[in-house]
Structures are given as structure tokens and as C-alpha cells.
Amino acid sequence: MNEYTFSILFGVTVGTLSRIYMFRTDYRQYPTYPHGMVIHLALGFIAAALGALVVPSIMEEEFTAVTFLTLAASQFREVRNMERKTLNEMDSLELVPRGASYIEGIAVTFEGRNYLVIFISFVSSLAYLSINLWAACIAAFLAFLVAKKYMTGSRLGEIAEVEQATVSFDGAGLYVDNIYIMNIGIPVRQQEILKHGLGFVINPKNFDARSTIGNLGQRQAILHDLAISLGVYRDSGTPALVPLIKRDLDDGRIGIFILPQNKSADLAMKVISQVPTLENAIRMPTETKEKGSGQS
């Protein structure tokens, strides 16, 4: 026991607790329970310990000790690779795959959250050592609020409007509203699709959103979340029943076609609005600055 013991313990505890809070095992069922969870809890604990150790090592003028943070960075980058690899391998076994962009988003989140844990435990152990326990509690709370702000991204409902649309056939062509989806030849299959199918149209709210929802990765993420929440009426080897999402070239609207097990249009529209906007898909063409305008 020395003068740093309690500050380190405090930092580690706060950091680990915040990592537990950041877990959201919800409809995605990821991280898997219980072993996937244990791995990330252990990594969260390591991250918290690293963050809490920074301040004592600076105070002891052991500046070289801070270089272990670089070790942490490479360690957590490895976490991202691990998640990406696992999810990619599992993706081919999903009835409706997540898609590479969604996987990358999840992997980046796992890496990013460990850095947030380092930040929280660093701030709280700094406040503990430089002021007192109560200041550390307040600092931990504030750091947690900052981390919370950075851990939640935007949702599709914020950049686009979702409405239900009719599913119809024009000859062999399947349409959602007036957006062409695919060609289904056999009449029996057409009847099946009309009976079970649901169609939705996503209207982008502005020009930026048009590019974002046009991204193929974002579109696949919508289908995956929808299929997870509502179930999907298909099996392997039935490509005609695969949910599809196509774009209206004229105005950038997106037409979604899905055969759900639970044919609830209201629920589906809620799910679509709640789909996360993927970091990799966000485009801001209206933010383009002209070269030489004095802004970079």
C-alpha cells in the first residue's frame, strides 16, 4: 500500500464499471454471452488499469513508463482486428448478412470504447490525486458523460423519413412504390411474395442524407437489423426470397423489400428509424469548401 493505491483502485473500478455500462447486449446479441462478454470485460479492466497508472507514473517522474500507452494502442487495435475477423467469418452464415461496413463499425466501436475507458480512469485518478475523493467522483461522472456522448452515434430516423409502400408486380418486375426491385418469373412465387412481403420507402431529409443512405453498407445494415427484429421468411437456397433494397436514381429514395415472419409494418418502421447511421457511410457533400476560400 502506498499513496497511489487508492487512486489506482478508484480509477480501475470506475473504468471497469463504465465498460460494463457500455455493453449493450440487445437485439444484435453481440458481444455474445457469456464468453464474448468475459473477453471484453477483461480488456476493459486492462484499459482501466492503464488509464489509472498514467498519473502516478508522471508524478513519480517515470516518464518513460507512459510509453506503455503505445502498447495499449497496439493491443486494442488487435481487438478491432479480432472482432472484424470473427464477424466476417460468421457473416457468411447469417440468413441476411451484416455487410462489411456494419462489421467495421462494430469493430471500431469495440476499439474506441477501450480508449474511452482509459480516458475515464485517467481523469478520475488524476482528480483523486490532485484534489480528493469527492472531486474524483465528480470528475468520473463528467468524464463518463463525455464518453457517453461519443459512444452513441446518430440513427437513421434523424436523417431520413420512413414510410410504408405498396409491393406490386408489373409483369415479372417486382416494385416497391415505383422503385424496381427484381424480376420474379414464376406466378406461384409472385403470389407468395405478395402475401408475405412488406415494402418501405426511405426519403432522405437532405442532400447529405441522400449519399449516406445510398451507401451499400448502410443499406445492408438496414436489411440486417430489419431481418433480426422481424424474422425473415426464407432459408438457404431460396435467393428469390432474399430481402432487397434498391435506390431510385432520380431522387435518391431507397426502396426496401422484405419478407418478414412478423408482418408488423409499424414495428418495421420503428426498427428502420433506429438503425444506426454507420460512421463509414456518412457523407457530407454540402460541407465541401472551395479551394482558396480561406477555410480548410
* Residues that bind other proteins in the complex, under the rule CB under 8 A: 171-172, 182-189, 236-240
Q: How far is the CB of 53 from other proteins (least distance, A)?
A: 49
52 vs 241, which CB is nearer to other proteins?
A: 241
34 vs 239, which CB is nearer to other proteins?
A: 239
Q: How far is the CB of 62 from other proteins (least distance, A)?
A: 55
**How far is the C-alpha of 196 from the C-alpha of 163, rounded, in Å?**
18
151 vs 244, which CB is nearer to other proteins?
A: 244
91 vs 208, which CB is nearer to other proteins?
A: 91
Q: How far is the CB of 184 from other proteins (least distance, A)?
A: 7
93 vs 188, which CB is nearer to other proteins?
A: 188
Q: How far is the CB of 231 from other proteins (least distance, A)?
A: 21
Q: How far is the CB of 180 from other proteins (least distance, A)?
A: 13
In angstroms, what CA-CA distances link 151 with 41, 114, 122, 132, 148? Answer: 17, 11, 18, 28, 5
137 vs 184, which CB is nearer to other proteins?
A: 184
236 vs 286, which CB is nearer to other proteins?
A: 236
Q: How far is the CB of 187 from other proteins (least distance, A)?
A: 6
Q: How far is the CB of 181 from other proteins (least distance, A)?
A: 12
